[in-house]
Amino acid sequence: MKREEINEKYKWDLSDLYEDDAAWEKEFIQVKELAENFKGLKGTLTKSSDDLLNAIRLQEQISRMLMNVVTYSRLKLDENTKNATYQGLVARSESLMTEIGEMMSFATPEILSIEFSEMLKLLNHDELKLYEKHFENMFRAKPHILTEEVESLLAQTEEMGAAPSNTYGMLLNADMTFEDAIDSEGKAHKLTNGSYVPMLMGNDRILRKDAFNKYYKVYEAHNNTIASLMQAEVKKNIFYSKVRKHPSAREAALFENNIPVSVPDKLIQAVNDNLETFYKYMKLRKRVLGVEELHLYDIYTPIIANVDFEIEYDEAREMVTEALGVLGTEYQDVIKSAFEKSWIDVFETEGKRSGAYSWGTYDSKPYVLLNHKNNLDSMFTLAHELGHSMHSYLTRENQPYVYGNYSIFVAEVASTTNEALLNDYLLKNIKEEDKKKYILNHYLEQFRGTIFRQTMFAEFERDIHKHVETGGALTAEFMNNHYLELNKKYFGPDVVIDDAIKYEWSRIPHMYYNFYVYQYATGFSAAISLASQILSEGKPALDRYLGFLSSGSKDYPINILREAGADMETEHPVSNALKVFKTVVDELDALL
């Protein structure tokens, strides 16, 4: 379907950012001029409180405008990744980021050239007090900040460093094409990155198998190219970690948010220690599907057969809105506004970026990109992305610009809490027993996809970086074989590990997000805990949770999450989530 065929009410409205491309062009020029002005402040930043305040204000103005420029170009390109105009705007905005980063690179080394005690004296000013936490965090990083000359050089490498991810994105979204998948009646179905998983969720096993094989056939054809991009991405991460004097790429990635390495390590260990329960779920799936061999193309399809659970988008939005009423009328009213004021781009169209996300700036709506299908999974995706958007909205409503973003570590908590609350709402309100079984199965699938699957990705990501850091060569063969062995370990004895799955790592865009994936699993675990507290405790837990959503980055993420009621430095949130998984497996097993 072409974009112009979609009703306007199902498209996002980007006018919060710019009315048109001409307005974008005007600000593109302005922000560069402001950066030139900032460059002229070199050598004055710490002379007095007033000089520091003026520099901060100009820096924030540049940052806000630059993020608007970058975000608009990217959102417009994501509407149709084949659009040459917006490919050009994205390339220009990324070059501008690099150029401005270079012009402003003197600032951090100049500030860090003084002692923190001197900085505290400068901050003893009415309009500067709110920046104390910001500068405390900056000085925490002082051992990893380099000379002005080296920082300038590193700023110049940013565009080059983004090349593996950008090239992979273009290959994935614009250049890859797939053969049609054929169902059991000989009917052809258009296979795309967006339609692949919905096909695996279908009841037609012939279609599932054909989609699986034809999908990975294309990734196999591009295996060496994608392996080369992944190798470049890993080496880039290691390069930056070494230059900034971190022990490893993973520790460098975790340092920004002050996350101990023990957190992802505990996650991987806890999941590995509980794989027997996951094996039980796979055995249950094999029994209920009635197959002699359970293949990986049988993993997504619901094990509750012949349940009509088609949910059109307008129905999904009403159910999600109602389910989130437990978070209070103010929260619910903003959700309604999201639908009415065009936050959301709903349907898959030709060339549109695959997947789903929430993204915006401090000055814009927190936009949501979807590729909605009329199924339960898409309804949960809607709730998930609205969780991100509400987190962004409440943060920006309650925090100044300097703390107006939240860290990656907590990014998946709000989204997954929404999913848990939607799950609870459906189980309480749907009367048909088969649909309840279906929802229980869907809940187990959330655990499979978010805790077990993302932890497997995290283990793979950890291992390939370690392999290179210890002198290994990151070849396509190594990654394929290692990923295949991880699948065998995670899925257990009752699943046939189809050889084509060894290419699956190459279809995961998050592998280019620098140790992001483990946070889906930790975030899911925290969300299960927080949702349970909201449902059982009521207002006290809700107040803590809304406080969490409104906190932005005013404190380190571990501390913010602990105040909300989930202490991720302990094993309790992950182990408790895995206990819930075991309970749901046993419950569904008993019903079937």
Q: How far apart are CA 518 and CA 524, in angstroms?
A: 10
Q: Which residues contact 417 (CB under 8 A, 6 or more apart)?
A: 387, 527, 530, 531, 534, 545
Specify whether 385 is catalytic: yes
DSSP string for residues in 180-221: PEE-TTS-EE---TTTHHHHHTSS-HHHHHHHHHHHHHHHHH
312, amino acid identity: E
Q: How far apart are CA 447 and CA 579, in angstroms?
A: 11
Question: Which of 385, 412, 461, 504 is flagged as catalytic?
Answer: 385
Q: Which residues contact 367 (CB under 8 A, 6 or more apart)?
A: 12, 14, 75, 343, 344, 345, 358, 359, 360, 389
Of 361, 403, 355, residue with least CA distance to 377: 355
Report the phi/psi class of residue 306: left, alpha or beta, with left for phi > 0 and alpha for psi in -120 to 50.
left
Q: How far apart are CA 31 and CA 546, in angstroms?
A: 35
**Farthest CA pair distance, the chain:** 77
Q: How many C-beta atoms surround the C-beta of residue 7 within 10 A?
A: 8
Asked if residues 391 and 368 have their Cβ atoms less than 8 Å apart, the reply is no
Secondary structure of 286-303 in the HEC alphabet? HHHHCCCCCEHHHCCCCC
Asked if residues 441 and 304 have their Cβ atoms less than 8 Å apart, the reply is yes
Asked if residues 577 and 524 have their Cβ atoms less than 8 Å apart, the reply is yes
Of 211, 201, 208, residue with least CA distance to 180: 211
Q: How many C-beta atoms surround the C-beta of residue 543 within 10 A?
A: 14
Q: What burial class does residue 447 get, using C-beta atoms within 10 Å of its C-beta: 0-12 exposed, 13-18 middle, 19+ buried? A: buried
Asked if residues 92 and 73 have their Cβ atoms less than 8 Å apart, the reply is yes
Q: How far apart are CA 325 and CA 98, in angstroms?
A: 43
Q: How many C-beta atoms surround the C-beta of residue 429 within 10 A?
A: 10
Write out the two tokens for 256: 């920004």
Pairing of strands 367-369, 357-359: antiparallel
Q: How far apart are CA 348 and CA 350, in angstroms?
A: 7
Of 118, 158, 116, residue with least CA distance to 137: 116
Of 106, 39, 99, residue with least CA distance to 69: 99
For 126-154, letters b (16+ CB in 10 Å) and e give eebeebeebbeebbeeeeebbebeebbeb
Q: How far apart are CA 56 and CA 154, in angstroms?
A: 22
Catalytic residues: 385
